[in-house]
């Protein structure tokens, strides 16, 4: 086939955004995606979110190695194997992250990625439908529709009110000036349907005629010396090369991107040599710096029958599904994450490091078990774990899964922060606003009070929030552990970039879909050698953060 200007591996959050922007600029692009169509109702119906991330058709099916600090458990690591990538199987929650997250990126060597630098890209990508008058923080005409749920269930507003009664602020827009506080949650949902990166970016890009989508399994980057010239793929049982006239861009996830780099000879030289892989660039940071968000589900039995449990039966699910299929409305049109909170776990923490997702049902994330009938829960966990893990190769076979070791809870501070999460949560649910709704605590259970008891609960019940990142860290070109420079170029290679959540120096506050799309937006401008001018706005920081927890 004739080479296109750019070959992008991965039709996920960042890859779709780059294809759209490069095509908009008149460039030709080939996008390689191993997964298939995202058209099915389990993907498109927001209320069905627990299904696609547990379906081999849509998910790569990765899991961690036994985690030594979590009782040897293997934690599942869903990644989207479908058009739209993980934006087609995620919970659709939209969080930019805190302004300070990106200032930290810049301080860590990602020059040009401070909040002032990335804010115009968040604004360019957003089409925000929030009710609050625009104060210059949000974007209103981008490809990515962002909405809020109707919060018709009284439990959502009760949770927000309880946060205020506990002494935390209310925030009208956590993606705007003030993240800290309790308020309505936002989602990539539009007209009752999941609004993934495929819907927002890839389909419009394909309509330009300048983007070609190829369904194939990327096996390695083809290198001519230190220069990337294309991508070797397995397609319909045959190995072929997809050539790139200008550059190859890896956007295959924080799990598959480092795997592809290593299979291509870019990684820790000694480890590659052990697998018989020719070393093209000795970058020990490839696959290192793996981070994630862990969370537990704090669950309560409900005094009133106003939870989603009334639909937790076959007739109820059919009724919800039929209403959505006919009108794209009703409970199926929401991800049911309609209220949230961001707080600090202790005085001296400058900006929030705990996130809450409230759900009016007590259930596992995979939808397999509802607890004790009517109930509700919050997903809660620390945002800035100090634990770091690795993604490495099992062998030199592109068909083998990579070896994933998160090393969760390996830092003692993580335990202290997680205990604070649980104790602060109990305090919130003890407020007057929740009194008409709380029957008793299901999980962890009121009897678990000591540090040791809480630690044992965390060890047994903590789950991934499915936010892996950091495995091809961005930094200064002379940083031996950096993998890409601030232009997203792979250090030690030519014609090769990485643009997905792999490049995050540190995980942002909150869910990663929004920041991943932003990386695609900004990377496309770096590729095109253009920049949006910085936007200097000052975020709200609690005035007494140094002395007060709230």
- CA 35 vs CA 78, 84, 329: distances in Å: 13, 9, 28
Is 29 within any annotated ligand binding site? no
Burial degree of 397 (CB within 10 A; 0-12, 13-18, 19+): exposed
> Bridge-partner residues for 83, per DSSP?
none
Is 325 within any annotated ligand binding site? no
Is 483 within any annotated ligand binding site? no
> Bridge-partner residues for 230, per DSSP?
222, 243
Is 513 within any annotated ligand binding site? no
Name the H helices within 126-196: 154-165
Q: What is the dihedral of CA 267, 271, 275, 276, to 10 degrees?
A: 70
Active site (annotated) includes residue 2: no
Task: Select which of 98, 374, 467, 542 is catalytic.
Answer: 467
State the Cα–Cα distance between residues 302 and 429, nearest whole angstrom: 12
The helix (H) or strand (E) run that includes residue 520 is helix 513-527
Task: Take residue 54 and report the two structure tokens written for it.
Answer: 């547990």
Residue 275, Cβ neighbours under 10 Å: how many? Answer: 15
> Bridge-partner residues for 498, per DSSP?
250
Residue 256, Cβ neighbours under 10 Å: how many? Answer: 27
Task: Take residue 242 and report the two structure tokens written for it.
Answer: 């997809």
Quote the DSSP letter at residue 455.
H
Task: Take residue 91 and report the two structure tokens written for it.
Answer: 């919970």
- CA 375 vs CA 363, 434, 497: distances in Å: 8, 12, 47
The helix (H) or strand (E) run that includes residue 356 is strand 354-359
Residue 403, Cβ neighbours under 10 Å: how many? Answer: 15
- Per DSSP, the three-state class of 388 is coil
Burial degree of 415 (CB within 10 A; 0-12, 13-18, 19+): middle
Report the helix count and the strand count for the chain, using DSSP H and E: 13, 25
Nearest to 371 by CA among 436, 439, 301: 301
> Bridge-partner residues for 283, per DSSP?
none
Nearest to 295 by CA among 13, 542, 59, 93: 93
* Burial 507-520, CB ≥16 within 10 A → b, else e: bbbbbbbbbbbbbb
Pairing of strands 281-282, 266-267: parallel
Residue with tokens 């970016």: 201
Task: Take residue 285 and report the two structure tokens written for it.
Answer: 């940071």
Q: What is the dihedral of CA 257, 260, 261, 263, to 10 degrees?
A: 160
Binding residues for FAD: 82, 90-93
Q: Write out the catalytic residue numbers.
A: 467
Numbered residues of the known binding site = 82, 90-93
């Amino acid at each position: 086939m004739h080479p296109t200007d750019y070959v992008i591996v991965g039709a996920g959050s960042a890859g779709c955004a780059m294809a759209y922007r490069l095509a908009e600029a008149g460039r030709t692009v080939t996008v390689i995606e191993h997964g298939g169509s995202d058209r099915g109702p389990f993907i498109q119906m927001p209320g069905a979110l627990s299904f696609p991330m547990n379906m081999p058709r849509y998910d790569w099916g990765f899991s961690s190695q036994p985690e030594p600090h979590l009782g040897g458990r293997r934690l599942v690591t869903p990644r989207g194997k479908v058009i739209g990538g993980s934006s087609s199987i995620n919970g659709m929650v939209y969080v930019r992250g805190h302004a300070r997250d990106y200032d930290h990126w810049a301080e860590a060597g990602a020059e040009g990625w401070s909040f002032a630098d990335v804010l115009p890209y968040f604004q360019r990508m957003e089409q925000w439908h929030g009710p609050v008058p625009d104060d210059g923080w949000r974007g209103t005409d981008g490809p990515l529709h962002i909405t809020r749920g109707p919060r018709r269930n009284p439990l959502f507003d009760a949770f927000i009110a309880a946060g205020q009664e506990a002494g935390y602020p209310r925030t009208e827009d956590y993606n705007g000036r003030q993240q800290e506080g309790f308020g309505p949650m936002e989602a990539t949902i539009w007209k009752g349907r999941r609004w993934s990166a495929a819907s927002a970016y890839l389909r419009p890009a394909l309509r330009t005629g300048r983007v070609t989508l190829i369904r194939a399994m990327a096996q390695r980057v083809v290198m001519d010396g230190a220069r990337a010239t294309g991508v070797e793929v397995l397609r319909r049982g045959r190995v072929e090369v997809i050539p790139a006239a200008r550059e190859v861009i890896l956007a295959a996830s924080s799990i598959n991107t480092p795997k592809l780099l290593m299979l291509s000879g870019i990684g820790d030289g000694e480890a590659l040599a052990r697998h018989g892989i020719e070393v093209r660039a000795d970058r020990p940071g490839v696959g290192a710096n793996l981070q994630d968000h862990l969370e537990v589900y704090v669950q309560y039995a409900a005094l009133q029958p106003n939870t989603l449990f009334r639909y937790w039966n076959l007739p109820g699910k059919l009724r919800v599904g039929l209403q959505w299929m006919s009108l794209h409305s009703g409970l199926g049109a929401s991800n049911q994450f309609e209220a949230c909170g961001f707080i600090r776990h202790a005085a001296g923490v400058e900006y929030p490091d705990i996130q809450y997702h409230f759900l009016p049902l007590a259930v596992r994330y995979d939808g397999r078990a509802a607890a004790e009938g009517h109930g509700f829960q919050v997903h809660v966990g620390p945002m800035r774990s100090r634990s770091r893990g690795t993604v490495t190769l099992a062998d030199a076979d592109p068909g083998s899964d990579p070896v994933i070791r998160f090393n969760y809870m390996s830092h003692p501070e993580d335990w202290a922060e997680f205990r604070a999460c649980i104790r602060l949560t109990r305090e919130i649910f003890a407020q007057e606003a929740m009194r008409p709704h709380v029957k008793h605590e299901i999980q962890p259970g009121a009897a678990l009070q000591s540090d040791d008891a809480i630690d044992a609960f965390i060890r047994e019940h903590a789950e991934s929030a499915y936010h892996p990142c950091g495995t091809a860290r961005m930094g200064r070109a002379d940083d031996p552990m950096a993998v890409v420079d601030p232009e997203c170029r792979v250090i030690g290679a030519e014609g090769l970039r990485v643009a997905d959540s792999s490049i995050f120096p540190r995980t942002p506050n909150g869910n990663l879909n929004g920041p991943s799309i932003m990386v695609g937006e900004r990377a496309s401008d770096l590729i095109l050698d253009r920049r949006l001018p910085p936007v200097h706005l000052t975020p709200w920081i609690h005035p007494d953060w140094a002395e007060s927890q709230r």
